[in-house]
Structure 1
Amino acid sequence: MKSILDYETVALVDEDDAIEIIDQTLLPGTIETIRLHTGKEIWDAIYLLQVRGAPAIGVTAGFGLYLLMKHSEAASYEEFMEELKEKSDYLNSSRPTAVNLSWALKRMESHVVEFTGTGKSFDLSKTIEEMRAESERIKAEDIDVCRRIGENGLTLIKDGYGLLTHCNAGQLATCKYGTATAPMYLAHEKGMNIKVYCDETRPLLQGARLTAFELHSAGIDTTLLCDNMSASLMKTGAINAIFVGCDRVAANGDAANKIGTSVVATVAKRYGIPFYVCAPTSTIDINTKTGDDINIEQRKPEEVTEMWYKERMAPEGVKVYNPAFDVTDNELITGIVTEYGVLKSPYDVAIRKLFEEHKNR
């Protein structure tokens, strides 16, 4: 019988002009794949969190832009680029915080410019084929990067460790391994005895519905807890390290991740527990100076007042504060685990050095 780990999070079905994804809004009760054909379907899938997690969103965006341009009838390079920019801007408007969305779209645009820019002969079919190849490369690189993040994160884990994570930075947020969960999967593969604790992650319950689901499916010793129980758990000494993913890292090392992450980091600091952010370099935004400059998505109040309940659990008309993310200050972060190694404070220096060394990556 197939488990959730046997499904591809995001796949290109080129012969059907479609992207196939796991509809994550139905998990864990129902494992169902759906196909996205139109720009509106792709936009909705990203906004409604049918596909979610920064790397998976980036892969979806790459495939999406290719598919939306696949049947272009542009007669010139200029006409093609105008159409490309319009479709890219539309997809980019679905979620503002996850930098991988804009990163993947910009990468696709840049590849077209490099392949068939002004002054070169424009071949429509070859240009579209190059877009397909580039979108496939984005996916292949995501799998490779997550594996390398896992290997680097594994150096921070010892046999018998208790690990805490928040939200879902697992395989369901990427194409394989995940980011924050990648060290956990590799530790499990090596036969290490680890215990993983998952915050439920209110209000959308990604930890309960997704992380606990996939780790438990993999045979990892998994315990679920409510968000407001993490401090109590940390105080017992059960947690040796914390691994979280992120949607954007600023140039100074501030990291935006699912709402509640900064609370976990603050409590971890109080109890002297190392707090690691797992981030591919594509999630590091050197053009965003600090976390104060990150645009935080505000979501619908119904996610807090009604979702998951049989009856509304808040008074009608009450105001609701529902940011999708918060920013963890760099001083609370023990290390940023990337595919190139573990960055340490001062993060502005470490990030600048990383990009200088790998600027042609």
Structure 2
Amino acid sequence: MAEVKLVHVAKAYENGPRVIRDATITVQDREFLVLVGPSGCGKSTLLRMIAGLEDITDGDLLIDGKRMNDVPPKDRDIAMVFQNYALYPHMTVYENMAFGLKLAGLPKDDIRQRVSRAAHLLEIDALLNRKPKDMSGGQRQRVAIGRAIVRNPKVFLFDEPLSNLDAKLRVQTRIELQKLHRELNATIIYVTHDQVEAMTLGDRIVVLRDGDVVQQDTPINLYNQPATQFVAGFIGTPPMNFVPGRLSETGPLHFTSKGGQVQIDLSNSQPEARLQAHRGKPITFGIRAEHLSEQPPAARSVHEQALAVEAVENMGNETLVYCPIDTGQLIARLPAGYATTFGQPIRLFWNLDKAHFFDAQTGQAI
């Protein structure tokens, strides 16, 4: 396998803005790295530059320390799995998986051995004589992955491979990809716009926005310690609750929401010290749904807020309760079976030990 380095990589099209501004990312040998972000953030462009399908405008791409900017795609020892499978419809599964190896001139016995191993690994042994039209979307995706595996590349690239699958099949295939990574012990770079895929698959996640790398860290660190309000809102389901407001200028530290409905005493809270420099300034208060509860939590600092119920989603294992607040909305994750109706009053306890604060102008975490 291989280490992949992007050093101050940028991409601009002729007479257009930079799609990627300045990306510096190191993918460790045998790491599963996920590039995630909203549509148009540049994640697929970044992947295509690694594959050699897009030219690099500035910066360097290194694979195992060798500069690859000008190396043709076929000589980079990289295999790519696309969103649309890209299988030959007139060929069987075996022929699709073997095609690239035949072009490379490998002996028939080697080809048969590689295809057999990949088919066994992906549990598609019984499909080798079928054609793509006779298979489900999930089976076709496995064939596309198998075609990449037989090449024994240094690096695997996945470009939103699960986006065409239904919800149940996506979950199943995510588990299979985790197992596959362990079996192959491979370096994998995976692109998705689905933050659930990113959280469940990646050893590390790189969050992109408008061509910039916003934050790169482990899934749990991104969730618990987002560097910006954008990351906090993008990572996690449901997204983090945000309440814009302002800190008191003098006296005990106090947060007042923009509409005045929320008044929080922060004078004894854990983040008090780091908030002092923002006194009198607009900030955004953030708290996740699971840190709102019906009963007081075991926390150093707790805020109690009376609200009205706007909507309820009973998920079976949990209940999501939606409450209007100022001009926005608050989502609380409450225990399974919680019963309430529209317009009913509710008192929620906010665990301020788990609260987040963001600069209202820059979006940076305080």
| Range into which the TM-score falls when normalised by the shorter chain | under 0.3
Larger Rg: 2
Greater share of helix = 1
TM-score (norm 1): 0.27
Q: Which has the higher strand share?
A: 2
